[in-house]
Amino acid sequence: MTQRPTVTVSTLQAKKQAQEKITMLTAYDASFAALMDKAGIDCILVGDSLGNVIHGAASTLGVSVDDVVYHCRCVASAINGPLLVADMPFMSYHDRSTTAHNAHRLIAEGGASMVKLEGGGEERADTIHHLCAQGMAVCGHLGLTPQWVHRFGGFKVQGRSEQAAQQIETEAHQLAAAGIQLLVLEGVPAPLAQRISELIDVPVIGIGAGVNVDGQVLVLHDMLGMNPRPARFVRDFLATGGSIEQAFVHYIEAVRDGSFPAAAETYQQ
Ligand code: KIV
C-alpha cells in the first residue's frame, strides 16, 4: 500500500477551484486497486458496471447491494490514498429508509467514503438530501444513466435536444442544492457538460462528456482494451502504456494534461 495524503471531498473541491483535473477509475478487486493507488489515482469507483465486466451481464440491473459491498471491501483493503465511491445498485434507493440502510451498508461494511445514485428530479434530490442529513457524502449521476437503459431504449447519448439538455441542467442544479459533493455526467454532448461544470460548484466527472469538465472516469476493463465494442469515448491505455501499471500512469497524465478525451472521443451534439 502506498502512503500519500488521503483524497477527501475537500481535496476534490480544492482541485475544482484550482482547475486541476480529477482522475477516477472503476475497480472491483484489491490487485487492480493497489496499482491505481500506487499510480496516484484520485478516486476509485466500485461501479455497478461490475454487472457487465465481472458478471458478464448485458446490463447493470442484476447487481445487488451484497455484490457492491463485497467488491468494495476487496478494493478498500488495498488502498489508502484514493477516495472510495460505491454505486447504489438498481432499486436499492427507492424509499428513504431502504436507501439509508443500503447506503449505510456500503459505507460501514464496504468501506466506501461516498455513495453514488443515478438520476435526477425532485424525488431523487429529496433522497440525496436525506442521506446528506445523516452525514453521508453523495455523488450524483446524470445523463446516460445505465440503470435507465430500458426507459431510454438502449444506451443512447442523452441531452441532445435543447429541451433534454435543459432538463439535465435543471437536475444538476437540484442535486447540487440537495447536497451532492461530486457529479458524474455520462454520455452527453460536450457543450452541455461544460456548461454544467461551469454553473455548479460541485466537481463534475465526465465519461463520454468531453474534456471541459473537472475530471474523468473510465471503466477499468474499457481502458485496458478489453471491451470488444468500445464506445467512442474509450481509449485503450494498455496499448500505449505497455503494462497495467503504466496504463494507469498514462491515463492519469492524459486526464491531468487535458489530452484525454480528444475531440474524436467526444460527442459534440
Ligand atoms: O458503474 C459504473 O462503472 C459507472 C461509471 C460508468 C461512471 O457508473
Q: In a mutational test of the pocket of ligand 1, which residue from 144, 184, 224 has the highest number of ligand atoms less than 8 Å from its CB?
A: 184
Q: What is the CA radius of gyration of the chain?
A: 17
269 or 14, which is more confident? 14
Annotation marks residue 186 as catalytic = yes
Query: Scanning the structure block, which residue is given the C-alpha cell 475497480?
Result: 27
Distance separating alpha carbons of residues 154 and 144, to the nearest angstrom: 10
How far does residue 86's CA lie from ligand 1's centre (Å)? Answer: 10
Helix (H) or strand (E) holding 238: helix 237-241
Closest CA to 248 of 43, 111, 76, 72: 43
- Residue 206 CB-half CA count within 13 A: 31
**Cis link prior to 146 (omega < 30° from 0)?**
no
Check if 209 has its Cβ closer than 6 Å to any atom of ligand 1: no
- Degrees (nearest 5) of the Cα angle 155, 159, 161? 120
Could you report the per-residue pLDDT of 112-142, keeping only the tens digit for each?
Answer: 999 999 999 999 999 999 999 999 999 999 9
How far does residue 207's CA lie from ligand 1's centre (Å)? Answer: 9
Mean pLDDT computed over 231-260: 97
Could you report the per-residue pLDDT of 246-259, keeping only the tens digit for each?
Answer: 999 999 999 999 99
Q: Which atom of ligand 1 is nearest to the CA of 217?
A: 7
Choosing from 186, 198, 253, 265, which is the catalytic residue? 186
Task: Report all structural domains of the chain as residue ranges with CATH numbers, in order of start.
Answer: 9-265 (3.20.20.60)
The DSSP code for 21 is: P
Q: In a mutational test of the pocket of ligand 1, which residue from 186, 219, 220 has the highest number of ligand atoms less than 8 Å from its CB?
A: 219
pLDDT at 2 over 90: no
| Pairing between β-strand 43-46 and β-strand 182-186 as defined by DSSP bridges | unpaired
How far does residue 52's CA lie from ligand 1's centre (Å)? Answer: 10
Check if 26 has its Cβ closer than 6 Å to any atom of ligand 1: yes
Could you report the per-residue pLDDT of 17-76, keeping only the tens digit for each?
Answer: 999 999 999 999 999 999 999 999 999 999 999 999 999 999 999 999 999 999 999 999
The pLDDT score that the predictor gives to residue 35 is: 98
